[in-house]
């Protein structure tokens, strides 16, 4: 093949190789998913024709039926008939069933979000509104995108995520400004976020913008609401005079447009502003005006009006009337509403003014309990939202990974198909060139495969070599232990044998497999086993001990117990035959190493000074370590008692870390109690049991975040000390 034909062919092949995956990814980028939508049983579409209020032509299309059902659900929602609204939406989804346009689908999902918002199911509302936003983006409906973003911000505000709500509102504001028209409700929502965050100046600025747009649109009632919100902010800033001016303007509009509830609410806030200024006469005038309006009002009076009238009655000495009014107002206010707590607090003040301190205290307890329940409900809502956010993020991550894999597979299939057609099209003219390219590709694959196999074989050889080395180390360690003539066992704090050499097995008359993993006291007669267990209990405060044991066959053994040099409560048990009972002498605890015996005096002095310096450093570190152990144990016990209402015995029994025994007729956990004070702390503490106790409390107890963080820091502090060479 000529070079002029080969190079264009290679260029065409390379272009197809690079361009096809990108095109495949771009083609699938607009895919819209609403996987967060919960599955629900849907009614039969034929049964939905009999819904009350549904008016449809006989030849109406599926999309027209869906739009009519969504409109019917919206009217039911505004009438607070939420069950009927949900039924209409289920019918709309059943009728839709994959038919209709994107606008009908968007209207259905958006109305489901609105209904969930009204029912205070914020995580569900957020999922529906985010689905609606994705549908609006797919159809490039900028107005719907801005509206859905605003609705998501309102949901985030109700969930307590003020930062996320503010970001959503600002994105919606930018989009609406780009469209040339900003809704007053958006400004009002932004102002509400700033007010709840305590940023009063920004809240007033956005309330003024919302009121201006409401007035431009001719919506005077909503402008009065904005004025009332501004008055609340002014009162929070300590400016009751400015708040009274805004409230009077709002009251004038309410008297023209109604309803009476808004008028009474504004009068209640005017009484509050007058009391804040100390103007009792003005407050009395507003009270008389409000009572005149209330005389013709059939529904329960607004809580803020009742509260402020009761305050005025109490201030003016009409305390009994205030108590009667507050008690009549409380049943009409929900327990989780903030007004309920404020009414209870005012009632407590009135009762105290009447001299009934017991009733006032009981009322304050009720108010405190309700405030706690409301705070817990808010916390549970926020926690549920965070859990939903986490699960949604994990699901989205999995979906994104699967989509990426699918797109890559599709790209590979398309790439291979295109390459096949290109190869067939130029097969006759480029047979030689194709053969060369194919050979080179196969050669590269063979080289890559050969390199991979070589790396794999090299890794296998290295693993086999390391495995053999580990086996040799284990055999060498066992040989070194068995080469010792003295009998040695390594025990834990409870006396369980962790390791034993051959001499120890011979001395005890058992096989190594039967000795390791079982308590050493079980290999001794009853009285000798009790003596060994008592000696082990004393080892926490002793450097070493020595006791004589009599085996079942009347043989005598001398057991010397000493602390394991690396700490952690492990005990070395050296077994020997007493000098008067056999030929094996007991090991000398005072033997001097050969190097020390052969050192010069100058070397001994230098080593002694170095040892003293190291000893002082180790002493300071050990003292800090012991103090950290006691602090961790006390904090763990305190957190357990607060979370469970039980004491140290229950902690010892349930954790199974500390032994519980009967002492002088009392059930006690003596081993645990020694770790509750620095003076009683054993000289050789079992720090791992203390750390296990801390982790057990962290895992099984509900506690406040700052308490959990402090307990975790204390556990980490103990672990830091244990990692130092002086303690490990």
Q: What pLDDT, in 10s, does the model give residues 609-639? A: 555 555 676 678 788 888 888 999 899 989 9
pLDDT band, residue 25 (cuts 50/70/90): very low
Residues 411 and 450 in one domain: no
- Say yes or no to pLDDT of 2 above 50: no
Closest CA to 315 of 274, 344, 356: 274
Give the single-character DSSP code of 429.
Answer: T
In a domain, 350, yes or no: no
CATH number at residue 199: 1.25.40.10
- Here the tokens at position 670 are 């003596």
The DSSP H or E segment spanning 699 is helix 687-700
Beta carbons of 139 and 44 less than 8 angstroms apart: no
User: How far apart are alpha carbons 480 and 502 in whole angstroms?
Assistant: 10
User: How far apart are alpha carbons 600 and 91 in whole angstroms?
Assistant: 101
What is the per-residue pLDDT across 442-481, written as a single tens digit (0 to 9) for each?
999 889 888 878 866 875 675 477 567 655 654 664 566 6
Q: What local confidence, expressed as pLDDT, does residue 463 receive?
A: 47
Higher pLDDT, 444 or 551: 444
Q: Which of 293-307, 481-495, 530-544, 637-651 has the highest mean pLDDT?
A: 637-651
pLDDT band, residue 582 (cuts 50/70/90): very low
Which among 459, 483, 507 is the end of a domain?
483
Site of tokens 């629900």: 40
| Strand extents, DSSP E, 618-711 | 661-663, 666-668
In a domain, 353, yes or no: no
Q: What local confidence, expressed as pLDDT, does residue 299 receive?
A: 75
Measure CA 267 to chain center: 44
Residues 659 and 712 in one domain: yes
User: How far apart are alpha carbons 367 and 348 in whole angstroms?
Assistant: 9
Report the chain's terminal Cα–Cα distance, integer Å. Answer: 75
Length of the chain: 728
- Say yes or no to pLDDT of 524 above 70: yes
CATH number at residue 517: 3.30.450.20
Residues 425 and 517 in one domain: no
Residues 294 and 190 in one domain: yes
Q: DSSP for 129-149?
A: HHHHHHHHHHTT-HHHHHHHH
In a domain, 319, yes or no: no
Residues 531 and 441 in one domain: no
In a domain, 598, yes or no: no
The DSSP H or E segment spanning 663 is strand 661-663
User: How far apart are alpha carbons 218 and 214 in whole angstroms?
Assistant: 6
User: How far apart are alpha carbons 539 and 682 in whole angstroms?
Assistant: 9
Beta carbons of 195 and 233 less than 8 angstroms apart: yes
Q: Which residues neighbour 355 within 8 Å (Cβ) at sequence distance 6 or greater?
A: none
User: How far apart are alpha carbons 215 and 227 in whole angstroms?
Assistant: 11
Give the single-character DSSP code of 724.
Answer: S
User: How far apart are alpha carbons 366 and 347 in whole angstroms?
Assistant: 11
**Helix, strand, or coil here: 272?**
helix
Residues 192 and 293 in one domain: yes
Structural domain including 281 reads 185-299
User: How far apart are alpha carbons 53 and 217 in whole angstroms?
Assistant: 31
The whole-model pTM stands at 0.48
Closest CA to 312 of 341, 345, 352, 285: 285
- Here the tokens at position 677 are 């004070």
Q: What local confidence, expressed as pLDDT, does residue 301 receive?
A: 83
pLDDT band, residue 127 (cuts 50/70/90): confident
Q: What is the mean pLDDT of residues 490-510?
A: 79
User: How far apart are alpha carbons 144 and 137 in whole angstroms?
Assistant: 8
- Say yes or no to pLDDT of 37 above 70: no
Beta carbons of 300 and 263 less than 8 angstroms apart: no
Beta carbons of 182 and 170 less than 8 angstroms apart: no
| Strand extents, DSSP E, 212-362 | none
Q: What is the mean pLDDT of residues 632-654?
A: 89
Q: What is the mean pLDDT of residues 701-707?
A: 87
Q: Which residues neighbour 481 within 8 Å (Cβ) at sequence distance 6 or greater?
A: 488, 499, 501, 502
**Helix, strand, or coil here: 560?**
strand
Q: What local confidence, expressed as pLDDT, does residue 202 receive?
A: 92
**Helix, strand, or coil here: 571?**
strand
User: How far apart are alpha carbons 617 and 527 in whole angstroms?
Assistant: 43
In a domain, 630, yes or no: yes
What is the per-residue pLDDT across 386-416, written as a single tens digit (0 to 9) for each?
777 677 778 778 888 888 888 888 988 988 8
Torsion of the alpha carbons at 118, 121, 127 and 133, rounded to the nearest 10:
20
Q: What local confidence, expressed as pLDDT, does residue 665 receive?
A: 64
- Say yes or no to pLDDT of 595 above 60: no
User: How far apart are alpha carbons 529 and 520 in whole angstroms?
Assistant: 8
Residues 223 and 295 in one domain: yes
Mean pLDDT for the chain overall: 78
Sheet holding 487-491, edge to edge: 497-500, 487-491, 571-576, 556-563, 544-550
Residues 407 and 465 in one domain: no
User: How far apart are alpha carbons 423 and 118 in whole angstroms?
Assistant: 63
In a domain, 701, yes or no: yes
Q: What are phi and psi of 154, to 5 degrees?
A: -65, -40
User: How far apart are alpha carbons 344 and 478 in whole angstroms?
Assistant: 77
In a domain, 602, yes or no: no
Q: What local confidence, expressed as pLDDT, does residue 27 receive?
A: 35
Residues 405 and 468 in one domain: no
User: How far apart are alpha carbons 721 and 622 in whole angstroms?
Assistant: 8
User: How far apart are alpha carbons 619 and 137 in whole angstroms?
Assistant: 69
The DSSP H or E segment spanning 547 is strand 544-550
Closest CA to 528 of 559, 551, 506: 551
Rg of the chain, C-alpha, whole Å: 41
Residues 691 and 710 in one domain: yes
Q: What local confidence, expressed as pLDDT, does residue 16 receive?
A: 47
Beta carbons of 264 and 301 less than 8 angstroms apart: yes
Beta carbons of 232 and 242 less than 8 angstroms apart: no
User: How far apart are alpha carbons 282 and 275 in whole angstroms?
Assistant: 8
Number of domains within the chain = 5
Beta carbons of 257 and 241 less than 8 angstroms apart: no
Which among 299, 320, 336 is the end of a domain?
299
Q: What is the mean pLDDT of residues 362-386?
A: 79
pLDDT over 90 for what percent of the chain?
A: 5
Site of tokens 């509403």: 337
Q: What local confidence, expressed as pLDDT, does residue 565 receive?
A: 67
Site of tokens 């305190």: 638
In a domain, 212, yes or no: yes
What is the per-residue pLDDT across 46-86, written as a single tens digit (0 to 9) for each?
667 666 566 666 566 777 778 888 888 888 888 888 888 88
Residues 641 and 679 in one domain: yes
What is the per-residue pLDDT across 169-203, written as a single tens digit (0 to 9) for each?
899 989 988 888 888 888 888 998 898 888 999 99
Residues 515 and 469 in one domain: no
User: How far apart are alpha carbons 422 and 8 in whole angstroms?
Assistant: 12
Measure CA 181 to chain center: 40
User: How far apart are alpha carbons 452 and 444 in whole angstroms?
Assistant: 12
Q: What Å distances lie between residue 466 and 456, 474, 477, 478, CA to CA?
A: 15, 12, 16, 18
Q: Residue 138: is it exposed, middle or buried by C-beta count within 10 angstroms (0-12/13-18/19+)?
A: middle
Site of tokens 């013709």: 296
Site of tokens 């060139």: 433
Which among 557, 576, 591 is the end of a domain?
591
């Amino acid at each position: 093949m000529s070079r002029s034909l080969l190079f264009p062919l290679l260029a065409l092949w390379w272009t197809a190789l690079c361009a096809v995956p990108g095109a495949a990814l771009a083609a699938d980028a607009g895919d819209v998913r609403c996987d967060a939508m919960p599955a629900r049983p849907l009614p039969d579409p034929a049964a939905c024709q009999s819904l009350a209020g549904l008016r449809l032509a006989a030849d109406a299309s599926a999309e027209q039926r869906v739009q009519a059902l969504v409109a019917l659900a919206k009217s039911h929602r505004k009438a607070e008939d939420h069950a009927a609204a949900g039924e209409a939406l289920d019918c709309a989804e059943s009728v839709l069933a994959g038919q209709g346009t994107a606008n009908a689908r968007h209207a259905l999902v958006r109305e489901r979000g609105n209904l969930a918002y009204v029912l205070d199911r914020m995580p569900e509302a957020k999922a529906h509104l985010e689905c609606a936003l994705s549908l609006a983006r797919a159809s490039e409906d900028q107005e719907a995108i801005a509206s859905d973003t605003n609705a998501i911000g309102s949901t985030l505000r109700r969930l307590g995520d003020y930062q996320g709500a503010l970001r959503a509102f600002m994105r919606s504001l930018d989009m609406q400004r780009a469209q040339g028209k900003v809704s007053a409700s958006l400004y009002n929502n932004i102002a509400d976020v700033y007010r709840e965050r305590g940023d009063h100046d920004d809240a007033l600025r956005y309330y003024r913008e919302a009121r201006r747009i409401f007035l431009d649109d001719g919506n005077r009632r909503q402008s009065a609401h904005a004025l009332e919100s501004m008055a609340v902010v002014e009162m929070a800033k300590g400016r009751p005079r400015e708040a009274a001016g805004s409230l009077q303007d709002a009251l004038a509009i309410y008297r023209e447009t109604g309803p009476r509830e808004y008028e009474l609410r504004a009068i209640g806030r005017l009484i509050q502003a007058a009391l804040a200024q100390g103007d009792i006469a003005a407050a009395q005038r507003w009270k008389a005006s409000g009572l005149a309006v209330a005389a013709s009002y059939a529904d329960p009076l607004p809580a803020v009006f009742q509260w402020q009238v009761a305050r005025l009655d109490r201030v003016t000495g009409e305390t009994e009337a205030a108590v009667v009014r507050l008690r009549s107002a409380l049943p009409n206010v929900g327990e989780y509403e903030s007004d309920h707590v404020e009414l209870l607090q005012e009632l407590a003040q009135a009762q105290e003014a009447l001299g009934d301190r017991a009733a006032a205290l009981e009322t304050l307890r009720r108010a405190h309990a309700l405030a706690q329940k409301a705070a817990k409900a808010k916390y549970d809502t926020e926690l549920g939202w965070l859990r939903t956010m986490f699960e949604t993020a994990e699901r989205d991550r999995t979906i994104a990974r699967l989509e990426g894999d699918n797109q890559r597979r599709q790209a590979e299939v398309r790439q291979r198909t295109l390459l096949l057609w290109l190869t067939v099209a130029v097969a006759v003219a480029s047979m030689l060139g194709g053969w060369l390219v194919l050979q080179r590709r196969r050669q590269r694959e063979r080289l890559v495969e050969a390199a991979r196999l070589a790396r794999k074989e090299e890794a296998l050889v290295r693993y086999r070599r390391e495995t053999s080395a580990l086996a040799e180390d284990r055999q060498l360690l066992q040989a070194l232990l068995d080469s010792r003539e003295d009998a040695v066992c390594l025990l834990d704090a409870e006396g369980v044998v962790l390791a034993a050499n051959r001499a120890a097995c011979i001395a005890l008359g058992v096989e190594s497999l039967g000795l390791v993993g079982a308590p050493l006291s079980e290999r001794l007669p009853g009285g000798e086993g009790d003596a060994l267990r008592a000696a082990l209990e004393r080892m926490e405060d002793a450097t070493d001990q020595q006791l004589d044991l009599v085996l079942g066959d009347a043989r005598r053994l001398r057991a010397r117990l000493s602390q394991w040099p690396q700490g952690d409560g492990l005990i070395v048990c050296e077994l020997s035959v007493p000098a008067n009972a056999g030929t094996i002498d007991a090991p000398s605890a005072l033997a001097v190493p050969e190097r020390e015996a052969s050192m010069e005096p100058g070397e001994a002095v230098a080593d002694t000074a170095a040892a003293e310096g190291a000893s002082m450093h180790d002493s300071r570190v050990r003292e800090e370590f012991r103090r950290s152990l006691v602090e961790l144990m006390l904090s763990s016990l305190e957190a357990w008692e607060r979370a469970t209402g039980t004491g140290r015995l229950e902690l010892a029994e349930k954790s199974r870390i500390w032994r519980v025994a009967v002492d002088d007729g009392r059930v006690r956990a003596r081993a645990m109690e020694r770790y509750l004070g620095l003076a009683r702390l054993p000289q050789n503490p079992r720090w791992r049991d203390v750390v296990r106790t801390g982790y057990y409390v962290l895992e099984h107890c509900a506690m406040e975040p700052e308490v959990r963080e402090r307990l975790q820091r204390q556990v980490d502090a103990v672990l830091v000390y244990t990692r130092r060479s002086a303690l490990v």
